[in-house]
Amino acid sequence: MTFPLVLLLCICSAGAWGSSSRLVVLPCDRSLFESKLELCLSEFNRSLERAQYRRGCVWPVVKGHYNHLKHCVDRWAEASWCRRVGALENHFFMDVHLTYFSECGRIQDPPMTTLVLMVAPLVMSTPLLAMLCVHLATQIQT
């Protein structure tokens, strides 16, 4: 990763000492970048298979693996000089999100046990409160 930065520094500084002051930027090595993307993605795929991503949104579980994928892609984008070229990284991450995180935006009903535990106290408290009020009102009159 430091080699391209050193090379760029040498190219830029050579322009200051020579007669030419043009900045030379190396072209994007797309084949290298795409082959390394497959390497990064294969490790990410294995981690998501272990997390059983098809069951629903696995974002909280795989956030660390996603960050590792992001760093891997960034590293190879810089090494292959494809950083910010033709939105290659954006298309790659859009495909990752469509494949693995499409369930994350959907609202789902809670399980039935959770729903019963949330609603039952409210339903039970209504007649109990009415009975308590009737009991207190009859005691005050007598």
Q: Quick one: pLDDT at residue 11?
A: 53
Buried b (16+ CB within 10 A) or exposed e, 95-131: ebeeebbeeeeeeeeeeeeeeeeeeeeeeeeeeeeee
Cα–Cα distance between 140 and 91 in angstroms, integer? 74
**Chain segment 2-46, per-residue pLDDT in tens:** 455 444 445 555 444 444 567 666 788 888 888 889 999 998 988
pLDDT band at 50 (very low <50, low <70, confident <90, very high): confident
Comparing CA positions, the residue from 15, 33, 107 lying closest to residue 77 is: 33
As a whole number, mean pLDDT of residues 77-96 equals: 84
Percent of the chain exceeding pLDDT 70 equals 80
Spell out the domain ranges in the chain. 25-134
The more confident residue out of 100 and 141 is 100
Q: At which residue do the structure tokens 């009859």 appear?
A: 138
Fold of the domain built from segment(s) 25-134: DNA polymerase; domain 1 (1.10.150)
